[in-house]
């Protein structure tokens, strides 16, 4: 691989916003590892991109499985020795699953959205540190903004996804903590909201296309050395926590 070509890893990338992030990063010349917990779905998503001439490699990754995360970190260490960009994209909401109790919804959301992010960040941080310009982008949501939650004029004021919002508030808190802890290693960590997007997660009710949601994520993945860290933002700028 070209020494100057950056290497990115995107979790939950076989569909939705994750796949759009992979596509946009690869079109900007980044070599992208397309993480998918189902190998066949990852291959199916990656094949058209490779046929387009893009530098994309599907890789198996279940962020709820420590062995899966560790195996991928070892593979990246062996094959590349470094990682430049980590996009913690994989995420779920169980708030509308009727057969689950609130505790079960929270537990499921925490395992993917929060513990999954910790597993990934802890495993990949040593590889990102070797980059000298490591970037982590955590997919968050404006639904986790306490400021917006208290604003009755906010268009999504009536959206009720309590366990999802709480899990993304934890993502925001971890973003601030990791931004501080990893700063000395040249790693920038930001939490980004892609906006209300038409994907399976929203039953395709979102008003934006995955490519629109991916654009601001890609901007933060490719931040220059003068870019911010520890922020919560969308395409319009910083979001009040």
Ligand X SMILES: NC(=O)c1ccc[n+]([C@@H]2O[C@H](COP(=O)([O-])OP(=O)(O)OC[C@H]3O[C@@H](n4cnc5c(N)ncnc54)[C@H](OP(=O)(O)O)[C@@H]3O)[C@@H](O)[C@H]2O)c1
Cβ–Cβ < 8 Å for 93, 109: yes
Q: Determine which one of 156, 164, 178, 196 is catalytic.
A: 164
For this structure, is 164 an active site residue? yes
**Helices (DSSP H) in 80-231: which residue ranges?**
102-109, 116-131, 146-149, 162-182, 210-221
Piece in contact with ligand X (CB under 6 A), picked from 15-23, 52-60, 100-108, 125-133: 15-23
Distance CA 150, CA 136 (A): 29
DSSP, res 113: I
Distance CA 58, CA 32 (A): 8
38 forms part of the interface with ligand X (CB under 6 A): yes
Can you state the angle between helices 210-221 and 16-27, rounded to 10 degrees? 50
Nearer to ligand X, 53 or 172 (CB): 172
Cβ–Cβ < 8 Å for 149, 206: no
Residues 219-238 that bind ligand X (CB under 6 A): none
42 forms part of the interface with ligand X (CB under 6 A): no
Q: Which helix (DSSP H) or strand (DSSP E) does residue 135 occupy? A: strand 135-139
163 forms part of the interface with ligand X (CB under 6 A): no
Distance CA 9, CA 117 (A): 13
Least separation in angstroms between residue 190's CB and ligand X is 14
Least separation in angstroms between residue 4's CB and ligand X is 29
Query: What binding mask, one character per residue, do residues 169-198 give for ligand X by CB under 6 A, x or -?
Result: ------------------------xx-xx-
11 forms part of the interface with ligand X (CB under 6 A): yes
Binding site for ligand X (CB under 6 A): 11-12, 14-18, 37-38, 41, 61-64, 89-92, 112, 116, 139, 141, 193-194, 196-197, 199-202, 206
Active site residue ranges: 164
């Amino acid at each position: 691989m070209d020494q100057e070509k950056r290497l990115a890893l995107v979790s939950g990338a076989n569909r939705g916003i994750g796949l759009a992030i992979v596509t946009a990063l690869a079109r900007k010349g980044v070599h992208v590892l397309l993480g998918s917990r189902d190998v066949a779905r990852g291959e199916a998503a990656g094949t058209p991109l490779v046929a387009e001439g893009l530098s994309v490699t599907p890789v198996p990754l279940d962020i709820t499985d420590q062995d899966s995360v560790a195996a991928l970190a070892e593979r990246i260490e062996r094959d590349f020795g470094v990682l430049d960009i980590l996009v913690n994209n994989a995420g779920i909401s169980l708030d509308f699953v009727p057969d689950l109790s609130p505790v079960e919804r929270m537990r499921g959301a925490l395992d993917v959205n929060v513990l999954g992010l910790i597993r990934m960040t802890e495993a990949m941080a040593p590889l990102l540190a070797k980059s000298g310009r490591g970037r982590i982008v955590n997919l968050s949501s404006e639904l986790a903004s306490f400021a917006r939650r208290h604003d009755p004029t906010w268009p999504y004021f009536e959206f009720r996804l309590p366990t999802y919002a709480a899990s993304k508030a934890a993502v925001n808190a971890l973003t601030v903590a990791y931004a501080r802890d990893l700063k000395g290693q040249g790693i920038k960590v930001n939490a980004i909201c892609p906006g209300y997007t038409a994907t399976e997660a929203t039953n395709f009710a979102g008003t934006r296309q995955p490519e629109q949601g991916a654009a601001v994520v890609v901007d933060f993945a490719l931040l220059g050395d003068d870019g911010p860290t520890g922020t919560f933002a969308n395409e319009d700028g910083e979001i009040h926590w």
